[in-house]
Amino acid sequence: MLIQSHRQENHLLLSIQRDVLMENSREFYQEFEKAIEGSHFGKLTMDFHLVKFLDSSGIGAVIKASSALHNRGVEIFVTNLNKNLNSVFRLSGLNHILSILTLDEYLSKFPEFQKTLEA
């Protein structure tokens, strides 16, 4: 399992469980589709606290996932990026299509996920 989902009202939190690489990027996207299937929500967060690295296939899968949500009018947030992932997101331009928040920024904006993210 690559994704664990948590829901609070109109907000879906997806905790990415491990690195997204060429060998599992298709599985990541399939699990992503399954997690959002039939759900109606206005906000989605991808939590990367367990992820150390994304290769180009992983970046592509995140872009594909975010595009699917943008087309539905969903606001997308990313949190818990380590220093390397933060650089990857900025160098790839993902910071222009996703709202990247530190954990502190995220929890001050969405305190309802405090227990989930600190578990």
Instruction: Give the pLDDT mean for 95-110.
Output: 95
What are the φ and ψ backbone dihedral angles of 49, each rounded to 5 degrees? -65, -25
Largest CA distance in the chain: 35
The domains found in the chain, sorted by start residue, are 1-116 (3.30.750.24)
Q: How much is the pLDDT for 119?
A: 66
Query: What's the burial of 9, exposed, middle or buried (CB within 10 Å: 0-12/13-18/19+)?
Result: exposed
**pLDDT tens-digit profile of 14-59?**
999 999 999 999 999 999 999 998 888 999 999 999 999 999 999 9
| Paired strand residues for 4 | 15
Output 52 or 119, whichever has higher pLDDT. 52
Instruction: Give the pLDDT mean for 85-95.
Output: 92
CA distance 51 to 37: 24
For 63, the token pair is 């872009």
Q: How much is the pLDDT for 38?
A: 83
CA distance 105 to 90: 18
CA distance 57 to 107: 29
68 has a pLDDT exceeding 90: no
Residue entry with tokens 């595009």: 67
| Amino acid sitting at position 82 | N
Where residue 72 falls among pLDDT bands split at 50, 70, 90? confident
**pLDDT tens-digit profile of 4-13?**
999 999 999 9
Angle at 53 between CA 47 and CA 55, to 5 degrees: 115
